[in-house]
Copies of this chain bind each other. A is one copy, B any other.
Amino acid sequence: MSPTRIPEATVARLPVYLRALNSLLEREIRTCSSEELASAAGVNSAKLRKDLSHLGSYGTRGVGYDVEYLRYQIAREIGLTQDWPVVIVGIGNLGHALANYSGFSSRGFRTVALLDADAARQGELVAGLKIRPFTELSAIVREHGVAIGVIATPAAAAQSVCDHMVDAGIRSVLNFAPTVLTVPPEVDVRMVDLSSELQILAYHEQRKSAPASPDPTLDPEVVA
């Protein structure tokens, strides 16, 4: 773990670099230049070198980066060399998909419990775990030292689930429900909006299908 906090934008790119390094390793590539790694990660190489310098990782002149070692450095920086017990609340289709998502377990995230408020679902086996009542949340957090709570409930239930998570001692929440959550300052929430990426694609698609032209309705107004 590096001595100082690294910039938030760099933190957000570390998982991308890790994925790129994993795919290089799958192709049995042991060393790579910053250009190769940048291309695999889809960023420019100057930005990549800057980002990695925050980790104290500079590669070796004429050789480049040792893929395996850099992967270890990034995994350690993110904290993936630790064990992260995770609880998933809301076992509908999305909760099912998350419970079965191989990308979680392969990155150090261990799902220790699946919780659902619906009594009819309880005892059902999903990804090797029995669905348990939501009322057991606090006991499960204590027992397993759960650090991260994943919310996959409908939007209407998400804030209440989040409040219970915070009361139970969870300080990091990953929210898949399409609603903004309010939490105390010591709690981190990240929201995955499944439609954001579709919107970004639509922006580009629109520009492919219609060449850009000035829009007379967009008159600059006075600054607020």
Contacts and interface: CB of A to CB of B under 8 A. Distances in A.
A109 B198 contact: yes
Contacts of A204: 11, 172, 188
A190 B5 CA distance: 28
Interface of A: 1-5, 11-12, 14-16, 18-20, 23, 33-34, 40, 49, 53, 55-65, 73, 77-80, 82, 84, 86, 92-94, 96-98, 100-104, 107-109, 147-148, 150, 155, 171-174, 178-180, 186, 188, 190, 192-210, 212-215, 218-224
Nearest to A197: B190
Contacts of A190: 197, 200-201
Contacts of A18: 199
Contact of A205 (B84, B207, B224): B84
A204 B223 CA distance: 36
Contact of A49 (B49, B186, B223): B223
A44 to B, nearest CB: 11
A31 B186 CA distance: 30
